[in-house]
Chain A
């Protein structure tokens, strides 16, 4: 059974703090890793799709790294702002069956205090 783990479960930081969280996934049969940002009452928004070992992607103050050999990805937020408050989900596509259904972690809920 494929399992995706995220830590920590929740995080409370002050505005301006930098923060990071972890996603662990099966290192065998790797295809891609997805990061999503999900604000309450909105649609999950795709941040990154990472495919290559050693990949590093950046979008504004948010960046992510990927290590497929050891099965983990880090998401970093530099200088957190209140608008970064959201749940951050990572997901691993399962190509064993359908056209890549996603297996999600439980998410890291980030709260940024002004």
Chain B
């Protein structure tokens, strides 16, 4: 049990809508990363937050944005949803380099 939780477990949206996914990290973990896993692929890095500031970004458009809060929770927001955004979204919290603890993911379906 990693202690990282995500909500909701599943979500269905329609194209063009906006979605917010939530993650609760372990206490003391100042870094949170978000990953997207599309069908048949490995997880792909979206972005990372360290002490409430974005600390790196993968190859994802600006309509993917995030927030990190002082209480070790964080959000991934996606605007103007597209069909290709259908995927499993994972968050991972980290106390430092070389350790990342993953949540179980949120399955997003865009119709």
* Chain A interface residues toward B at CB < 8 A: 4, 6, 32, 34, 36, 41-46, 49, 51, 89, 91, 93-94, 97-107
24 contacts between A and B (CB under 8 A): A6-B42, A34-B100, A42-B104, A43-B4, A43-B104, A43-B105, A44-B43, A44-B90, A45-B2, A46-B99, A51-B98, A91-B42, A93-B98, A98-B33, A98-B47, A98-B50, A98-B57, A101-B33, A102-B100, A104-B42, A104-B43, A104-B44, A105-B42, A106-B40
In B1-58, the 8 Å CB interface with A consists of 2, 4, 31, 33, 35, 40-45, 47-48, 50, 55-58
B68 within 8 Å of A (CB atoms): no
Taking the nearest CB of chain A, how far is it from the CB of B42, in angstroms?
Answer: 3
Which of the four size classes fits the interface of chain B?
20 to 34
Q: Are A107 and B48 in contact (CB under 8 A)?
A: no
Q: Are B102 and A106 in contact (CB under 8 A)?
A: no
* Chain B interface residues toward A at CB < 8 A: 2, 4, 31, 33, 35, 40-45, 47-48, 50, 55-58, 90, 92, 94, 97-105
Q: Are A101 and B45 in contact (CB under 8 A)?
A: yes
CB closest chain-B residue, reference A9: B40
CA distance A81 to B92 in the complex (A): 28
Other-chain residue from A44, A89, A99 in contact with B97 (beta carbon distance below 8 A):
A99
Q: Are A46 and B45 in contact (CB under 8 A)?
A: no
Q: Are A97 and B56 in contact (CB under 8 A)?
A: yes
CB closest chain-B residue, reference A45: B2
Q: Are A101 and B58 in contact (CB under 8 A)?
A: yes
CA distance A6 to B40 in the complex (A): 13
Q: Are B55 and A49 in contact (CB under 8 A)?
A: no
Taking the nearest CB of chain A, how far is it from the CB of B38, in angstroms?
Answer: 10
Question: Within 8 Å CB of B50, what residues of A?
Answer: 98-99
CB closest chain-A residue, reference B37: A104
Q: Are B45 and A99 in contact (CB under 8 A)?
A: no
